[in-house]
Amino acid sequence: MEKIIAIADETQILWSKKPLIDRLSFLPNLSSLLIEHKEEYASIITSEMHKPITQALAEVEKCALLCKYYYENAETFLATKSIKTDASESYVVYEPLGVILGIMPWNFPFWQVFRFAVPTLIAGNTVVVKHASNVPKCGELIESIFNAAGFPKGCYQNLPIPSNKVSNIIANPTIKAVSLTGSEQAGVAVATEAGKHLKKCVLELGGNNAFIVLEDAVLEKAVAIAVNARMQNAGQSCIAAKRFLVHETILDAFIEKFKIAIQNLKTGNPLDRDTQIGSLARVDLAEELEQQVQKSIQMGAQLITGGKRYEAFFEPTILTDVTPIMPVFKEETFGPVAVITTFKTIDEAIELSNQSEFGLGVSLFTQDVDFIKTKISAFNEGAVFINEMVKSDPRLPFGGIKKSGYGRELAEEGLKEFVNVKTVVINIL
């Protein structure tokens, strides 16, 4: 561990002195490698965490788009900013912090890493990445991809350590900041350790997103998006729609269409191109989901379809008559379980949506866009999507509030998370 961090430190000193245009010059190579070898990379993703191969391919392709986006925009984002003051000259420059630790999850084993590492590197930092223990091949592979793209040795290094060693890494004086994508519990542990050493951290934690269907929604489109929003990656996503709030007048129609769509999803071997739902990443994750569902049914939730577990596979499931006191409403469900609650008014929907310890995003479906735009500020969320599912996009800042964490990834905001915003004031006497 100490050797890896020392190499990162030595490399960072030289790397930070390279002109930005030189640091950016490696991104086209990185993007090309991702596209050229996407079949190979996607198969490794699928073999390690069971994501359907078509979704793994899309994940790799999205990483390539991220590289292209920052290649085209980073110079503008990091340009010196002149500010008019009483001084002769005033401006702000953006300088790297040093070596940054990334602690990454298994559910999007390429995308989560690339969206942290690419902007952090081109800002002039180097990175060491502790990847999830159940995707070790992905961790090793990503390091080899950065090396093959021409990044100097030490810019990106995989750190194959167990979780109980993370505190030692954060405490290391060479590590200047931390980025974590993971659970609420992991966020508390990392933030506590970083706080002890006065180090900045960015936390992208859990989510319990509401998916609100208003009375005037185009139902067919809302249902089609709802299926993808909940069932993509077998529901193993922090930004997946988890709580479906449906206006009482369209409840029966929504449930019927949603049920048919869910039951028509193709399950099977995740390496088959027509498979839409694979198993969860681990058996213990499926067991935890099963407990949440069973306890909620005991409390009065009605099972519409699914609900059974076979080892790590959990059937696509719909529960109705769900109330805010049930585990499937108040806790994050990390799997293919959709829970439905009704409302009468938009204010009631807003109240139900905000009745969560998380604040990552919300989706709303309506034809009266002008009206719903007046309600955006009422949602305690990091993102509001109207007539669309919540999703990440390199062009938009991504992150949440409350127990969903703090800080932002992607876009200009993500590029500037791990820089020193240095103010320069000059007076000519």
Annotated catalytic residues are 204, 238
Q: Kind of pairing, strands 384-386 and 313-314?
A: unpaired
Q: Residue written as tokens 């298994």?
A: 106
Instruction: Give which of 207, 223, 255, 243 is closest to 341, Cα–Cα.
Output: 243
> What are the angstrom distances between the C-alpha of 378 and each of 317, 343, 348?
30, 16, 12
Check: CB of residue 241 under 8 Å from CB of residue 389.
Answer: yes
Q: What angle do CA 22, 36, 146 make, to 5 degrees?
A: 40
DSSP single-letter state for residue 320: E
Q: Cα torsion for 392, 396, 401, 404, to the nearest 10°?
A: 20
Spatial contact of 403 and 205, defined as CB atoms under 8 Å apart: yes
Could you tell me if residue 124 is left (phi over 0), alpha (psi between -120 and 50 degrees) or otherwise beta? left
Phi-psi region of 235 (alpha: psi -120 to 50; beta: other; left: phi over 0): left
Tokens (6 digits) for 15? 């790397």
d(CA 401, CA 360): 6
C-alpha 334/C-alpha 17 separation (Å) is 43
Candidates 368, 370, 373; CA nearest to 384 is 373
Dihedral sign, Cα of residue 132, residue 136, residue 141, residue 143: positive
Helix (H, G, I), strand (E, B) or coil at 318: strand
For β-strands 419-426 and 89-96, DSSP reports them as: antiparallel
Burial of 319 (0-12, 13-18, 19+ CB in 10 A): buried
Rounded distance between C-alpha atoms, residue 59 and residue 37, angstroms:
13
Give the H or E element holding residue 248: none
